Amino acid sequence: MSNNGPGIRGRRALWAVFHVTFVAACLLAVMFAILPGYTSPNSKSWSEPTGYPAMLRALGLPIPVTTERIVRRDVLQVVAASGTLEYRNLVQIAPDINGIVTTVSVMPGSEVHQGDQLLVLDSGGFGVDQARLEVQQKEVDYEQAKRDYNRDAAAYAKGLVSRSTFEATDKNYQDAAVALARARVSLAKALVTLSETVYGARKPPTARLKSEAAAEQPLRLVAPIDGTVTDISARSGQMVFSPGPPLVTLGNTLVFRAVVDQRDVRRIKPGDAAVVRLEALPGVDLPSTVERIDPVVAEASQKSSQAQQPEGTVYAWLQLNGPPPGGERLLSGMSGYCVANRKMESLAVPESAVMRLSAGEGTILVVGDDNRVQVAPILYSVNEGGWVGLISGPPEGTRVVLDGQIGLRAGDRVRFK
């Protein structure tokens, strides 16, 4: 027995050292591995019923939180939108007389100045004018006869007028239609005669009155503005009737038409600085300025319109501040996008403080003078650079919780880290 005593005591000492080491290791693991994770707002257990905030709440102890105050600062409000280059003004030119196009002086893409000749139109003088006036008179007679016919037809169906009266009205209507057709044929013949005269197939009469000769002087259509010819439908020898479609269309001053979502309308205004980038000019920034914003939001029914404006959007028009570097040519229809920005002073909170940040609305947790948290709604205007600019919300200087909001409840007592 005495021989075994020291060995037993040695083994017991070793077990005691092992137990102490194991307990110390467990304590160290809890302190440096488990406890930091358990107390971290980023842990999965933070919002659980057995999480750290719940345990402190049950014990009546304050929950540690990181806070920041609402401050007033400069924020950069940014709006990005796609769009295309368009002409600010489109001027369609159509003559108000009948005649023959004898000269076309421009082509699509031609740059013109105010007063430059676009085309020459030979009106044909009194012969064509008389035929045109005859057509106008017959059109008036036809419309009146048509109204009389429709009126008497309705009255005849109700037995209010006699059959002979209705038949007379019907005959007048038919006669007016025939007279109008004949007048139009006469005008067409006059224009054909004019065309033959202009292009040498028929010689003009040798004797004319001076006034008639003066009336037959060719008409020069000139550019009313400086601009670019975007479209031309006239060709030499073409017969032109009035009223009719435009012969030449001029565009004046290229601007960028941006398609802005209606949720961003309040974040952009005339005068804001912007940059336009076009797909045709990669790497080239075109400094611009917001010129105007259309006051109408496109509805679903407008999708079928020629403009093809997306539903729920407005057009913002940006003026280019100068030509592109390198002299690259800009063309109407070039597509790209723009970034408009404006520096503004606003109450702001760190982005991490805002919960459910969407469509200009959100919520934050604020800490009152009693160190208890409450939920506060906010409206925001910009989310940029880690800060959210406020339109409405708590006043400047209010403390807001920056992390762990999901594990907190209204009324919780907190302490600051």
Three-state SS annotation for the chain: CCCCHHHHHHHHHHHHHHHHHHHHHHHHHHHHHHHHHHHCCCCCCCCCCCCHHHHHHHHCCCEEECEEECEEEEEEEEEEEEEEEEEEEEEEECCCCCEEEEEECCCCCCEECCCCEEEEEECCHHHHHHHHHHHHHHHHHHHHHHHHHHHHHHHHHCCCCCHHHHHHHHHHHHHHHHHHHHHHHHHHHHHHHHHHHHCCCCCCCCCCCHHHHHHCCCEEEECCCCEEEEEECCCCCCEECCCCCCCEEEEEEEEEEEEEEHHHHHHCCCCCEEEEEECCCCCCCEEEEEEEECCCCCCHHHHHCCCCCCCCEEEEEEEECCCCHHHCCCCCCCEEEEEEEEEEEEEEEEHHHEEEEECCEEEEEEECCCCEEEEEEEEEEEEECCEEEEEECCCCCCEEECCCHHHCCCCCEEEEC
Average pLDDT on 310-324 reads 90
Higher pLDDT, 198 or 224: 224
- Say what the pLDDT of residue 17 is: 60
Instruction: Place 10 in a pLDDT band, splitting at 50, 70 and 90.
Output: low
- Say what the pLDDT of residue 43 is: 77
Q: Encode pLDDT of 29-61 as tens digits.
A: 444 444 555 677 777 778 888 788 888 888 899
Reply yes or no on whether the pLDDT at 201 is more than 50: no
- Say what the pLDDT of residue 53 is: 85
Which stretch of 65-69, 147-151, 326-330, 345-349 has the lowest confidence by average pLDDT? 326-330
- Say what the pLDDT of residue 260 is: 92
- Say what the pLDDT of residue 307 is: 57
Which stretch of 48-57, 114-123, 296-305 has the lowest confidence by average pLDDT? 296-305
- Say what the pLDDT of residue 178 is: 86
